[in-house]
Every structure is written in structure tokens, then in C-alpha cells.
Copies of this chain bind each other. A is one copy, B any other.
Amino acid sequence: MHSHFDPAKCQTVSEILSRIGDKWSVLIIMKLGSGPSRFSDLKRSVVGISQRMLTLTLRALERDGLVSRTVHPTVPPSVVYELTDLGRSLSKPIEAMGGWVFCNHEKIHEARAEFDSRYAASDENSAELHKP
């Protein structure tokens, strides 16, 4: 049976998807899906992330109960992040999305290329050469 798209459910889905669907959350969840990581590990694995965004995203994920944060009071402090049960259960639909993207991203890029070439033909000489 198919679920209908009732408005209330949609908005909740949208809200959560906006949260976990941002650029960095998915990458972090995917990385943590293969095991716990320390802060520096994450920073190295998630290429291009700033320490600020890593901290903010981790706190958001922790706040949502998807990631746990464990501080080991060693002399150089080490903090280990790990998916909670909730976070691990989220990995499944994310993997489903991942599978879909893996199967269809070529079609998307083809569609984009076609769309762009069609659009560029009618607007090719309006490229902005000067900016205020």
C-alpha cells in the first residue's frame, strides 16, 4: 500500500530532511556509519569541512539524538563521536537514497547538460562581463 502525502506529515518530513539533508550531516552520518570517530578523524575524512561547521553539525546531530559524544579525559583530550541506535536506523533510508543516487546520478547529469545547453542557446550573449 502507498502512503498518501498528507500536509502535516509532509511538513514534518520536510523539516527533518532539511536538518539531516544539509551538505555536511549526510557525510558525517555516512562516515560514522562505518564506526566511531574522533573529532580530528571526522575533520580529515569529511573533506572540505571547516572546524566550525563540523562542530555545529555534530552538535545539531547530537541534539537530535542521532550521534553520541563521549569525552575521554586523557591528557590530550579526545572526543569520540558515534551513531546512536536512532542514528543507525537512519542510516538505512539514507543508504536507500544513496542507492538511488548511485543508480540515477548519470541521468540527472545528462538532464542538467541538456537543460543547460537548451537554455544557453537563447541567452548566450547575455553573460555578465562586468559587475558593479
Contacts and interface: CB of A to CB of B under 8 A. Distances in A.
A50 interface: no
B3 A27 contact: no
B47 A27 contact: no
A101 B27 contact: no
Query: How many of these chains are in the complex?
Result: 2
Interface in A84-132: 86, 89-90, 92-102, 104-105, 107-108, 110-112, 115-116
Contacts of A66: 108, 111
Interface in A1-41: 2-5, 7, 9-14, 16-18, 20-24, 26-27, 30-31, 33-34
A65 B110 contact: yes
Contact of A14 (B4, B26, B62, B108): B26
If over half of A's interface residues share one DSSP class (helix, strand or loop), that class is named, otherwise mixed; here it is helix
A5 B37 CA distance: 14
Contacts of A115: 62-63, 65
Contacts of A116: 63
Interface of A: 2-5, 7, 9-14, 16-18, 20-24, 26-27, 30-31, 33-34, 45, 47, 62-66, 86, 89-90, 92-102, 104-105, 107-108, 110-112, 115-116
